[in-house]
Amino acid sequence: MIISEENSKLSFCIDPKNHDELTNCLKSTYKIKNGYEIYNCTECNINYNLTYNKYTDTYFCRPMNEINQCSVLFCETCNNNNIFICEKCLSNYELIGLTGYCVKKTKEIPFIIWKDIYRLDMNGEKIINNKYFYGPSLIMRGISSSQINTRHAFLIYLTFQIKNIPHGKRNYKNACNL
């Protein structure tokens, strides 16, 4: 594959197998921005269309039969009933079952040490993939040294304990059903 470096306008060849962003690209541009290497496809293989990723401000190649149907980035096969949920991601991307998004595979499972929890709302509303979720809502702040991809999802279990039950309402038999 031919790569053109944007600043110096030099062209060189690389093996696209070593770069996930270049899957199915014929030609691409290369630049370093904020310390990160950024590849932009400019021409795709047959049966692939050039697709813009508004979150990373880059172009990649998506299969032609999926271009107008699926709205999930880096998705190879979209859910038949919901265009916001992916069934199968492109190579080197993995499906996050909780959200239906595709994120780049990592060698190690990322982790976060949670430091702060605030803005607890017991009757919150959140929209994910055009589905409404109702229940407790909070914001968590954490510290990590892991390389966590954007749009990555974590499954977090919250346990609540009832501390004050009004006098006369103590029914230990039904306490688990609260």
* d(C-alpha 49, C-alpha 54), whole Å: 16
pLDDT of amino acid 165? 66
Domain boundaries, the chain: 1-67
pLDDT of amino acid 32? 79
pLDDT per position in the chain (178 positions), as tens? 677 777 777 777 777 667 766 778 888 888 877 777 788 888 888 888 888 877 677 888 877 765 455 778 888 888 766 777 888 888 888 888 777 888 888 777 777 888 888 888 888 888 776 678 888 888 888 888 877 766 666 767 777 777 776 665 555 554 444 3
Report which residue type is found at 35. G
* DSSP, residue by residue, 153-174: --------------TT---GGG
pLDDT of amino acid 114? 82
pLDDT of amino acid 166? 65
pLDDT of amino acid 171? 53
* d(C-alpha 63, C-alpha 50), whole Å: 9
pLDDT of amino acid 150? 65
pLDDT of amino acid 67? 45
* d(C-alpha 135, C-alpha 33), whole Å: 40
